[in-house]
Amino acid sequence: WQRLKGGLARTASALSTGITDLFTKRKLDAGTLEDLEDLLIQADLGIDTAGRIAGVLRQERYQRDISPDEVKAVLATEIEAVLEPVAKPLAIDAEKKPFVLMMVGVNGSGKTTTIGKLAAKFTAEGKKVVLAAGDTFRAAAIEQLKVWGERTKVTVVSGAQGADAAGLAFDALAAAKDGGADILMVDTAGRLQNKAALMAELEKVIRVLKKQDETAPHAVLLVLDATVGQNAMLQVEAFQKTAGVTGLVMTKLDGTARGGILVALAAKFDLPIHFIGVGEGVDDLEPFAARDFARALVG
């Protein structure tokens, strides 16, 4: 909770200061409601959610005095209600051996780091993990995954830079099966400069995995960087179509005042949010919990 609260401090402070400025010794009237709606939109919560929250306040407290704390309490309750339906833990089906988890997202969103953090978590739970360095486009990505492999003591299947990503994923799945692994995590490329080529590559990786296990991949997690704000919505749309995204991870909530974007995503897409990243360290990945997040966000 402390880590979450610390991580969300910048978003919370922006919201909290804004609400205090707006509602100190003021009535809840049309003017303050409009200002509140603007504040929520600026905090990336999305127009729909901002409108809904303003609507609730209008109905309950119109033309009455209201304190900043009361506004925050309403805000936390409403945000929690938006988040609750998508706050679902990642279910690892132990019958699938290995359970194949593919990580997708644009470069720099935090895929490799999240794989490293998850490798540490799964290993600590006693699961045997194999990683596939499927971002074969960038030498740095391959190296970075190897470093995480050493740190968490898990096997990394990698190839040379420029190697065929699908072929590598195929080999990694074979190796994971041979080694009796419980979980295979597949890193992927994220160069959005060439979107068509990237999507074709992801489709091919999926197709090739299915040759060995027609139910694979068992989860496709889209990693989103919170600092990009509204752009995250476009990324969901782009990856949802081709990569068959099953769930979301939002990273870098610690470095931004735009944490409200997670609320906008929850309101718009029917995709589970599994984890949130609140730092670069191995422990800075939290299972997503609606109530805690809503409370930490509002400050």
From the CB of 184, what's the least distance to ligand GDP, in Å?
A: 17
From the CB of 3, what's the least distance to ligand GDP, in Å?
A: 11
Q: Is 253 annotated as a binding residue?
A: yes
From the CB of 250, what's the least distance to ligand GDP, in Å?
A: 8
When the beta carbons of 40 and 156 are compared against ligand GDP, the nearer one is 156
When the beta carbons of 44 and 284 are compared against ligand GDP, the nearer one is 284
Cβ-in-10-Å burial (0-12, 13-18, 19+) of 244 comes to middle
When the beta carbons of 106 and 173 are compared against ligand GDP, the nearer one is 106
When the beta carbons of 254 and 292 are compared against ligand GDP, the nearer one is 254
Q: Is 158 annotated as a binding residue?
A: no
Q: Is 31 annotated as a binding residue?
A: no
Q: Is 7 annotated as a binding residue?
A: no
When the beta carbons of 182 and 225 are compared against ligand GDP, the nearer one is 225
Other Cβ atoms within 10 Å of 27 Cβ, number: 14
Closest residue (Cβ) to ligand GDP? 277
Cβ-in-10-Å burial (0-12, 13-18, 19+) of 256 comes to buried
Residue numbers of the site for ligand GDP (CB under 6 A)? 105, 107-113, 141, 144, 190, 223, 251-252, 254-255, 277-280, 284
Residue whose entry in the numeric block shows the structure tokens 């191995």: 282
Pairing of strands 99-104, 155-157: unpaired
Calculate the CA dihedral of residues 19, 23, 24, 27 and round it to 10 degrees.
180
Q: Is 188 annotated as a binding residue?
A: yes
Q: Is 26 annotated as a binding residue?
A: no
CA end-to-end distance (rounded Å), the chain? 12
From the CB of 43, what's the least distance to ligand GDP, in Å?
A: 19
Q: Is 244 annotated as a binding residue?
A: no
The per-residue DSSP string of 90-154 comes to PP--TTSSSEEEEEE--TTSSHHHHHHHHHHHHHHTT--EEEE---TT-HHHHHHHHHHHHHHT-
When the beta carbons of 68 and 149 are compared against ligand GDP, the nearer one is 149
SS3 (DSSP) at 82: helix
CA distances from 215 to 37, 110, 228, 245 (A): 45, 26, 33, 14
From the CB of 254, what's the least distance to ligand GDP, in Å?
A: 5
From the CB of 134, what's the least distance to ligand GDP, in Å?
A: 11
Binding residue positions: 105-112, 187-191, 251-254
Binding residue positions for GTP: 105-112, 187-191, 251-254
